[in-house]
Amino acid sequence: MIRIPQGVSLDPQTIRFLEQPQKMLIGGAWVEAKAGQRFSTLNPADGKALSTVPLAGKEDVDEAVAAARKAFETSWATKISPAKRGRLMWKLASLIQRDLQVLTELESLDNGKPMEKARYDVLGSINHLQYFAGWPTKIEGSTLPAGSPDKLVYTRREPLGVVGLIVPWNFPLLMAVWKLAPALACGNCCILKPAEQTPLTALYLGRLIQEAGFPDGVVNIVTGPGEPTGEAITRHMDIDKAGFTGSTAVGRKIMEAAAQSNLKRVSLELGGKSPNVVFADADMAAVLQSLHWASFYNTGQECTLGSRLYVQRPVFEQVVDALKASAEKLSIGHGLTNPDLGPMISEKQMDTVLGYIHSGQAEGAMLALGGHRCEGDLAEGYFLPPTIFIHEDDRLKIVQEEIFGPVVVVSPFDSQEEAIHRANDSRYGLAAAAWTSDISRAHRFAHAVKAGTVWINGYDLFDPAVPFGGYKESGFGREMGRSAIELYTQEKAVWVAL
Ligand code: NAP
Ligand code: MG
């Protein structure tokens, strides 16, 4: 029996799902791991187990790959029309919509995130599937004016084959769908591995994939940790591509594994340390409305978090005071009670963040808010409050490294040149934002900053039509939009002698 806060109730379907022993989806069947191993997934708001899931070993991944290869060769890429692929994807989106409440509750329980934010994620998944459901019928090749007139030369965009999709725990369902949707639209068959901390919504999605009528083996879902499960995917000789979202450290391992196995294609969405730059001429009301979310959304466990805040000196105090005041008002608690912020995903992640906070203090940054584990009613979960550091030294570890918690480092600057230089002083380059009412400055900043996404007078805006991905050590490859179609297809040139 799972524990939930007083006064909260769950959809009976959520309870039924949690009461059943979970299995993995391989070749259209729900199976245990061959070695019989299982592990628990817990709710980080109270550290209590929610369910157990199979721990897939290499032999299970082998079976999933064989099922995916068979589906690729015998049905998905050869017998199912592009229009039918699109219809199946649209059907899946409708089933997610039907079970919105159940998926929201499962996501909130497994990850800890507030109900309203979990709901955004599920709605985002629907939006994403619907956008990509329109693509299968629009993937085109071209004819080329090449060779002599007695030659016909054309190109085809073909699927890659079997793709391994490895996703993190911070937006579990949404990240899974970000990868599945373009991969399926292009005609690939998939092995999905959710993060070990958050397997539940992926497994629920597996049921909906079956109900929608996808042929067996088109999507296989294996649960387990990075080692052995993730590694069995990235080292596999019959997987054509590994699509990964996660840390830069694991991204390196994935490239190594690809290099040492079959040179599978790799795309990497990695970490970030995104600069959020406020110029003195900005619309302050708009800045202040967005700032606490840019700094602390998802309890800071977000790859695009505006974790480096630079504020032009004339408005520095005003902005810091306002950020402190709004951060103090953010409610923290169990996801099902729909606070502003939920817990950290795990004790380990909480300890990592506390380590960074101690390092910031030891290195001489000024702690302006937060900095300690939450106590009282929140003591049994992994809760940290919004934490603000003020500093003037970009060499500090807390300024250079991704913390992945509710910690923002704030620093004053004087000129536009200084702001751009400091924004780029990072090994990461995922996103950046500037707030200004000077249109030329806005575009100068957008062009000069080395990041895959730049927001002007806004933060954390996403749409399935807009490419997303990193510069520098934030990875490569662009998900979403037309770019994602390129990521999950390969081009073939055909020469015909007439
Ligand atoms: P992580 O440790 O890199 O894990 C990501 C995924 O990789 C998980 O499914 C993990 O499995 C798996 N994995 C771990 N070691 C592996 C290995 N040797 N081979 C294959 N797979 C392996 O990252 P995380 O802690 O889950 O997420 C936090 C990080 O992700 C942050 O750095 C954040 O910036 C980044 N992130 C980036 C984006 C983006 O779009 N750029 C989005 C979200 C998160 P287990 O967890 O089960 O071990
Ligand atoms: Mg969990």
What pLDDT digit, counting tens, does each position of 433-458 carry?
Answer: 999 999 999 999 999 999 999 999 99
Is there an atom of ligand 1 within 6 Å of 136 CB? no
Strand partners, 411: 310
- In this structure, the answer to whether residues 354 and 403 fall within a common structural domain is yes
HSE-up of residue 11 (Cα within 13 Å, Cβ side): 15
Which two three-digit tokens encode residue 448?
A: 């000069």
Report which bound ligand comes closest to the CA of 107: 2
Confidence of residue 3 (pLDDT cuts 50, 70, 90): confident
Which two three-digit tokens encode residue 459?
A: 């933060």
CA of 243 to the centre of ligand 1 (A): 11
Neighbours of 328 (CB within 10 A): 13
Please, are residues 24 and 55 in contact by the beta-carbon 8 Å criterion?
A: no
* Closest CA to ligand 1's atom 17: 226
Q: Which atom of ligand 1 is nearest to the CA of 168?
A: 26
- In this structure, the answer to whether residues 281 and 248 fall within a common structural domain is no
Matching residue, tokens 């729900």: 30
Q: Of the residues 303, 402, 473, 479, which is catalytic?
A: 303
Radius of gyration of the CA atoms of the chain, in A:
23
- In this structure, the answer to whether residues 75 and 207 fall within a common structural domain is yes
Question: What is the per-residue DSSP string for 473-498?
Answer: TTEE--BSHHHHHHHTEEEEEEEEE-
Report which bound ligand comes closest to the CA of 243: 1
CA of 45 to the centre of ligand 2 (A): 10
| Residue 269 annotated in active site | yes
Question: Does pLDDT of 233 surpass 90?
Answer: yes
Please, are residues 309 and 387 in contact by the beta-carbon 8 Å criterion?
A: no
Q: What is the mean pLDDT of residues 187-202?
A: 98
Please, are residues 175 and 245 in contact by the beta-carbon 8 Å criterion?
A: yes
Domain assignment of residue 193, yes or no: yes
Quick check: helix, strand or coil at residue 75?
helix
CA of 157 to the centre of ligand 2 (A): 39
Q: What is the mean pLDDT of residues 183-195?
A: 98
Confidence of residue 101 (pLDDT cuts 50, 70, 90): very high
CA distance 186 to 137: 10
Confidence of residue 420 (pLDDT cuts 50, 70, 90): very high
pLDDT at res. 476: 97
- In this structure, the answer to whether residues 361 and 259 fall within a common structural domain is no
pLDDT at res. 217: 98
Please, are residues 409 and 307 in contact by the beta-carbon 8 Å criterion?
A: yes
Question: Could you tell me which of 221, 305, 229, 236 has the C-alpha nearest to residue 266?
Answer: 236
Tell me the per-residue pLDDT of 457-487, one tens digit each, with 9 for 90 and over.
999 999 999 999 999 999 999 999 999 999 9
153 or 21, higher pLDDT:
153
Q: Of the residues 63, 107, 196, 269, which is catalytic?
A: 269
Is there an atom of ligand 1 within 6 Å of 269 CB? yes
Is there an atom of ligand 1 within 6 Å of 242 CB? no
* Closest CA to ligand 1's atom 40: 269
- In this structure, the answer to whether residues 281 and 294 fall within a common structural domain is yes
- In this structure, the answer to whether residues 321 and 359 fall within a common structural domain is yes
Is there an atom of ligand 1 within 6 Å of 247 CB? yes
pLDDT at res. 63: 98
- In this structure, the answer to whether residues 211 and 345 fall within a common structural domain is no
Report which bound ligand comes closest to the CA of 405: 1
Confidence of residue 285 (pLDDT cuts 50, 70, 90): very high
Q: How far is CA 337 from the centre of its chain?
A: 24
Residue 349 makes CB contacts below 8 A (sequence gap 6+) with 301, 382, 404, 405
Which two three-digit tokens encode residue 380?
A: 């049994």
Please, are residues 349 and 383 in contact by the beta-carbon 8 Å criterion?
A: no
- In this structure, the answer to whether residues 452 and 322 fall within a common structural domain is yes
Which two three-digit tokens encode residue 158?
A: 């073909």
| Residue 189 annotated in active site | no
Domain assignment of residue 5, yes or no: no
The secondary structure element, H or E, covering residue 399 is helix 397-400
CA of 82 to the centre of ligand 2 (A): 36
Residue 330 makes CB contacts below 8 A (sequence gap 6+) with 292, 296, 339, 340, 341, 386
pLDDT at res. 296: 98
- Residue percentage of the chain with pLDDT more than 70: 100
Domain span including residue 192: 12-270+474-495
User: What pTM did the predictor assign?
Assistant: 0.97
CA distance 199 to 98: 20
Is there an atom of ligand 1 within 6 Å of 107 CB? no
Question: CA angle at residue 422 from 417 to 423, to 5 degrees?
Answer: 100
pLDDT at res. 432: 98
- In this structure, the answer to whether residues 234 and 263 fall within a common structural domain is yes
Please, are residues 164 and 233 in contact by the beta-carbon 8 Å criterion?
A: yes
CA of 179 to the centre of ligand 2 (A): 21
DSSP state of 332: B
Please, are residues 445 and 437 in contact by the beta-carbon 8 Å criterion?
A: no
Matching residue, tokens 């700032």: 291
Residue-averaged pLDDT of the chain:
97
Please, are residues 308 and 399 in contact by the beta-carbon 8 Å criterion?
A: yes
Tell me the per-residue pLDDT of 367-411, one tens digit each, with 9 for 90 and over.
999 999 999 999 999 999 999 999 999 999 999 999 999 999 999
Is there an atom of ligand 1 within 6 Å of 64 CB? no
DSSP state of 52: E
Domain assignment of residue 4, yes or no: no
CA distance 309 to 300: 13
CA distance 322 to 329: 11
Report which bound ligand comes closest to the CA of 200: 2
- Residue percentage of the chain with pLDDT more than 90: 99
Question: Does pLDDT of 2 surpass 90?
Answer: no
- In this structure, the answer to whether residues 93 and 161 fall within a common structural domain is yes
Question: Does pLDDT of 1 surpass 80?
Answer: no
Question: Could you tell me which of 214, 167, 219, 166 has the C-alpha nearest to residue 189?
Answer: 219
Report the number of distinct structural domains present in the chain.
2
- In this structure, the answer to whether residues 344 and 449 fall within a common structural domain is yes
Q: Which atom of ligand 1 is nearest to the CA of 269?
A: 41
Which of 110, 166, 170, 250 gets mutated to test ligand 1 (max ligand atoms within 8 A of its CB)?
Answer: 250
- In this structure, the answer to whether residues 240 and 337 fall within a common structural domain is no
Q: Which atom of ligand 1 is nearest to the CA of 242?
A: 20
* Closest CA to ligand 1's atom 4: 246
CA of 475 to the centre of ligand 1 (A): 12
Q: Domain containing 55 — which CATH number?
A: 3.40.605.10
Q: Domain containing 299 — which CATH number?
A: 3.40.309.10
Domain assignment of residue 1, yes or no: no
HSE-up of residue 460 (Cα within 13 Å, Cβ side): 17
Is there an atom of ligand 1 within 6 Å of 226 CB? yes
